[in-house]
Amino acid sequence: MGYDKTAARTMSRIEARKLGVALLVGCCLVILTYFISMSETTVDQEPSEAYRVGAVEEVEEQTLSLQKPEREKKTEDAHETNAEERVHDDSSSTISHATAKEETIETNGPNEEKIVAERRDDERIQMMKPPAEPICDFSNWRTEFCEMKGDVRIHGKPSSVVFVSPHQQSNEWKIMPYVRKEMENIEKVSVRTASSPAAVPSCTINQTVPAIVFSLGGFTGNYYHDFTDLLLPLFLTARQFDGEVQFLVTNIQVWWFRKYHRIIKRLTRYEFVDLDSSNQVLCHPHLMVGLRFHNDLMIDPARAPNGYSMTDFTKFVRSAYSLKREYAASLREQPDRKPKLLLVARKGSRRFTNVPEIVEMAEGLNYEVVHADASFGDVAGFVSVVNSGDVIMGVHGAGLTNFVFLPMNAVLVQIVPCCELEAMATHTFGFPSMAARLHYLEYNITVDESTLLELYPREHPVFTDPQSIHKLGWMKMGKIYLRQQDVKLDVNRFRPVLQKAMDLLRQ
């Protein structure tokens, strides 16, 4: 019995120790599990900054603001709105949270929601609109030019053009459809923009090709102005369309189209429209009012469609008249050949008064001389004579415009009348002919070669002070120096010029 009691006490003490150890181990496991779970929550379940909203966010922000320096607190406040926008704009919308909130407050029913939606659509449409491009150019001191692409409507007799475009602000201009915008004998064309087709004339004729509105008033009929004011600007404006363009014409001159029909039919395949007698509303997808113009008988390739140049124009007109010669005679390759000299005759002022003497001198230099002038309507017949020449010479005047039909490397000799007309003469024919790859020579006559000596004494300001006459204006200057003057050429003084022309053909 004593042993049994002793064994029982011993076992109870052992069991107590085991139980204590088990309790200690259990407590350690519980504590370890708690720390592990807290660690997992900290790593995987920490909410991102973008989702810190509501009361919890306010408490956290207040707590953080107490712990941060004042400068950081100000920075945090400055970005608070942006953070709030990021929270509520999970669709990447460009509408700010503040704007959305205001619209929500204002929207109290289905009608208001519809209004807000429409306003948002309008705003998006406005943002998508391309910037309006200017349709009219007034930068050139000589010309005005408008170009429109889209819904364009031309009402003939009123000379009115409407460009329907929601991208353009309402405007209206008066455009001179001629390359000299100060002309008084030409009616201007009204060009205006409209945002909607509802208030503009309806189309009566629909076309699918571009159109050009221009006038045949002004100086039409003068050979020089026919080219510098009309034919070359028409080439600049219409050639790019390769015939797929229609001409809408004011101040129509039917004879003019007949005179230059070979050039016109190369520029357009369509019948011209006489706008002054048309009550139709013509609709074209592309319209130009006026003609492109760079300078008198000149083309600037940097500004021209397709980089056109003066040589492109001269090739074009030679092709229109089926002229075969592209290059003048080369005396270097054919030294025994007689070059052909075309002596341009004039029927009015600035005529040569000693033609036989000039012809004899030129033939003595081994030229074959042709003395000719164009009949009014016989352009085709005369330009073939011009193209056969190697040198063309004449007194400053419209006849020298025929240089455009000369073969390249030919020589243009301009005789400049008295007195101090050199700058005008060079501008009119010198620069253009050189741009057309011709050789250019200029001969300025002396007072003794001018028939003005028969009208004014040598001591008159006409000779002694030409600038005083020039300052009187174009009309007074032109009456004296251009309409009263003929030329009696000093053949001995002039001979070296024709010799120089011969040398140029030997190059």
- The Cα–Cα gap between 341 and 390 comes to 6
- The Cα–Cα gap between 115 and 308 comes to 54
**Token digits of residue 289:** 């009012």
Q: Which domains does the chain have, with CATH numbers?
A: 136-308 (no CATH), 327-505 (3.40.50)
**Token digits of residue 25:** 């181990």
CA 25 distance to own-chain centroid: 92
Query: According to the model, what pLDDT value does residue 199 have?
Result: 81
Query: According to the model, what pLDDT value does residue 166 have?
Result: 86
Output phi, psi for 490, to 5 deg.
-80, 100
Q: How many CB atoms lie within 10 A of CB 501?
A: 24
CB-based contacts of 359: which residues, under 8 Å, 6+ apart? 343, 369, 371
- The Cα–Cα gap between 505 and 341 comes to 12
Query: According to the model, what pLDDT value does residue 437 have?
Result: 97
Question: What stretch of H or E contains 34?
Answer: helix 2-44
- The Cα–Cα gap between 173 and 176 comes to 10
Task: Give buried/exposed letters for 95-129 (b at 16+ CB in 10 A, else e).
Answer: eebeeeeebeeeeeeeeeeeeeeeeeeeeeeeeee
**Alpha-helix runs per DSSP H in 213-260:** 223-225, 232-238, 254-259
- The Cα–Cα gap between 261 and 318 comes to 14
Task: Give buried/exposed letters for 293-316 (b at 16+ CB in 10 A, else e).
Answer: bbebbbbeeeebeeebbbebbbbb
List per-residue pLDDT tens for the chain, 507 residues long. 444 444 444 444 445 454 455 555 555 554 554 444 444 433 333 333 333 333 333 333 443 343 444 444 444 444 444 444 433 344 333 333 333 333 333 445 556 666 666 666 555 544 444 445 678 999 888 999 999 999 999 998 888 999 998 888 888 999 999 999 989 889 999 999 998 888 888 999 999 999 999 999 999 999 999 999 999 999 999 999 999 999 999 999 999 999 999 999 999 999 999 999 999 999 999 999 999 999 999 999 999 999 999 999 999 999 999 999 999 999 999 998 999 999 998 888 999 999 999 999 999 999 999 987 766 567 888 899 999 999 999 999 999 999 999 999 999 999 999 999 999 999 999 999 999 999 999 999 999 999 999 999 999 999 999 999 999 999 999 999 999 999 999 999 999 999 999 999 998
Give the pTM.
0.73
Please tell me whether the peptide bond between 283 and the residue prior to it is cis, using omega within 30 degrees of 0: no
Q: Which amino acid is at 78?
A: A
* Structure-derived torsion over alpha carbons of residues 169, 173, 178, 179, reported in degrees to the nearest 10: -70
Query: According to the model, what pLDDT value does residue 348 have?
Result: 84
Q: Which amino acid is at 167?
A: H
Q: How many CB atoms lie within 10 A of CB 151?
A: 16
Query: According to the model, what pLDDT value does residue 43 have?
Result: 36
* Structure-derived torsion over alpha carbons of residues 227, 232, 234, 238, reported in degrees to the nearest 10: 150
Query: According to the model, what pLDDT value does residue 104 have?
Result: 37
CA 71 distance to own-chain centroid: 56
Beta bridge partner(s), residue 148: 287
